[in-house]
Chains A and B, each alone.
Chain A
Amino acid sequence: MHEEPYTQAMLDLALKKSGGKKISEIRLEVGRFSAIVPASVEVFFRHLSAGTPAQGARLVFHSVPVTLTCTVCQKVLTLEIPPDAPVRPALGTALGRGCTCGEKKLKVSGGLGFDLIGLTVA
């Protein structure tokens, strides 16, 4: 259910950027580690956008991988997690394995966000 405020914020931003024009597509980037479920965003969007210029707009989701940055050598590791696989076990394994430099001081540096990339308007 926590997708509702995210969806409202996304809708508000899209409506602001569209300048009142009819929106046909909204392109979004969703971090694999954002705890945002696109299917839930779709559900809330249908209700929240009703009666606005965004009603009926297609939502296009692009997944952003999780990255870990070594706090010792600054190397950035990208986690290759299959789309249907859960993130947390893979993240736990990667954090436990540590960096290729041998240190285990990794910090999550990417894949946490939920961004509005662009719109298509009439």
Chain B
Amino acid sequence: MKTIEVRKSITAANDALAHELRSQFTRHGILVLNLIASPGAGKTALIEKTIARLGAAVSIKVVEGDPYTHLDSQRVIRAGAQSIQINTEGGCHLDAQMVGRAVDRFDLDQTDLLIIENVGNLLCPAAWDLGQDATVVVASLAEGADKPLKYPEAFTRAQVVVINKIDLEPHLPVTTAELRRNALTVNPELTVFEVSCLHSTGLDSWCQWIRDRIATKK
């Protein structure tokens, strides 16, 4: 019998691939965002609105993660960006290998912004590094203000929270301020944006943040 010391993260192989991807994205000067949310929070809507506002000046590519359908990539393509759909066949998150295979099909020399829409799930997607510059949680006000406290995994690992559906506040027993406060309680270093994708409000500061981040990558 022999004992072997390992002391490595279970996701070490994924982390190594993600590191390679990050180097590749950096070489091409691409800003990469990993969007995480529960189903229906508005990840795809935020991407559509971002393409509408930035698409003329910024070359945007989108990797879409979904268990089975192509519905999201079809929406993104209709919005005007090139998109590749990954179907995880029931898997609950994307990993670096899936993303690597997808981005091989993009012309990275003609890309400023790569948005990766992860599978709708607030538990494990944030634990799998995809080579992104920032993890962005989209939190819809309609989900309630307590989600950062109930599913802190994603909020803890994120750098940005986009609170969506703020237009519903008059009709809900929760406030945007409560959701913002709970997100910052779980992770005080979060940058928070408040938007309504339906009414196209609050998107200026989100898009300006993206522009500023792209500028740092060039």
Name A's B-contacting residues (CB within 8 A).
Answer: 1-2, 5-6, 9-10, 12-14, 17-18, 21, 24, 28, 33-35, 71, 88, 91-92, 95-96, 104-108, 112-122
Q: How many residues of B contact A (CB 8 A)?
A: 34
Whether the Cβ atoms of B4 and A9 lie closer than 8 Å is: no
With an 8 A cutoff between CB atoms, is B188 at the interface?
yes
Selected from B1, B7, B12, B123, the residue in CB contact (under 8 A) with A2 is B123
- How many pairs of residues, A versus B, come closer than 8 Å at their CB atoms? 97
Q: Is the CB of A107 within 8 A of B189?
A: yes
Given contacts A13-B13, A35-B124, A104-B185, contact A115 B7 (CB under 8 A): yes
Contact of B152 among A108, A115, A120, A122 (CB under 8 A): A108
CB atoms of B91 and A5 under 8 A apart: yes
A52 → chain B closest CB, angstroms: 16
Q: Is the CB of A35 within 8 A of B153?
A: yes
Chain B interface main SS type: mixed
* Chain A hits for B186, CB < 8 A: 95, 108
- Picked from B2, B13, B156, the residue with its CB within 8 Å of the CB of A121 is B2
Would you call B104 an interface residue if the criterion is a C-beta within 8 Å of the partner chain's C-beta atoms? no
Tell me, yes or no, whether B10 is within 8 Å of chain A by CB.
yes
Chain B residues contacting A122 (CB-CB under 8 Å) are 1-2
User: Across the interface, do A118 and B4 meet the contact criterion of CB distance under 8 Å?
Assistant: yes
Shortest CB distance A81–B (Å) = 14
Contacts of B66 in A (CB 8 A): none
Known contacts A13-B8, A114-B9; A120 and B185 CB within 8 A of each other: no
Interface string of B146-165 (1 = CB under 8 A from A): 00011011001100000000
Q: With the chains together, A104 CA to B181 CA distance in Å?
A: 11
B151 → A minimal CB distance (Å)? 8
Once bound together, how far apart are the Cα atoms of A21 and B1, in whole Å? 10
Say whether B6 faces chain A, with CB atoms less than 8 Å apart: yes
Please give, as numbers and ranges, the residues of chain A lying within 8 Å of B8 by CB-CB distance: 13, 115-116
Tell me the complex Cα distance, A64–B201, Å: 43
Task: Pick from B3, B9, B12, B14: contact of A120, CB below 8 A.
Answer: B3
